[in-house]
């Protein structure tokens, strides 16, 4: 890259104008590619450093806010949740499947919903399937 810059300066002095020197001495393709790659990765590293610093600033702010004690200790009392009844399960469904479904419902809702019943779906084509058949077989 330094050789190209030296060549550019020498051509600028010889030709008299910078435009003529720029046209005559274009940088080689590897110089352009390497410069572009280095520039992109340098900016990515700079963004990474900025985000790390920002994260540390916000973490320290959160720690300072977290050290404050609440004024009312009774506000932190833990209230037990009401006991959920066992779900109604149709025969033929194993307890492992019911447990997996209940765990998925509880995990995805954050405990706000409980499983009340589990039923198997009837085999065959549902309403969406029938709608697809009707749409596909309509005459043009």
Give the number of other Cβ atoms within 10 Å of residue 28's Cβ: 12
Q: What is the pLDDT of residue 67?
A: 65
Q: What is the pLDDT of residue 32?
A: 93
> Is there a domain that residue 93 lies in?
yes
30-39 pLDDT per residue, tens:
999 999 999 9
Full-prediction pTM beyond 0.85? no
Is the pLDDT at 106 greater than 80? The verdict is yes
Is the pLDDT at 49 greater than 70? The verdict is yes
> Is there a domain that residue 80 lies in?
no
Say whether both 45 and 95 belong to one domain.
no
Number of structural domains, the chain? 2
Say whether both 62 and 22 belong to one domain.
yes
What residue numbers bound the domain in which 93 lies?
88-137
Strands (E), 1-140: 88-89, 117-118
Q: What is the pLDDT of residue 24?
A: 62
Tokens representing 50?
């900025």
């Amino acid at each position: 890259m330094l050789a190209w810059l030296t060549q550019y300066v020498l051509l600028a002095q010889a030709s008299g104008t910078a435009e003529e020197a720029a046209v005559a001495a274009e940088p080689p393709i590897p110089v352009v590619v390497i410069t572009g790659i280095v520039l992109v990765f340098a900016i990515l590293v700079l963004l990474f450093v900025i985000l790390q610093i920002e994260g540390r600033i916000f973490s320290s702010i959160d720690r300072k806010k977290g050290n404050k004690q609440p004024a009312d200790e009774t506000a932190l009392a833990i209230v037990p949740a009401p006991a959920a009844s066992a779900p109604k399960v149709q025969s033929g469904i194993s307890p492992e499947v019911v447990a997996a479904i209940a765990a998925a419902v509880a995990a995805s809702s954050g405990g706000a919903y409980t499983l009340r019943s589990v039923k198997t779906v009837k085999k065959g084509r549902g309403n969406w399937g029938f709608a697809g058949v009707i749409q596909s077989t309509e005459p043009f």
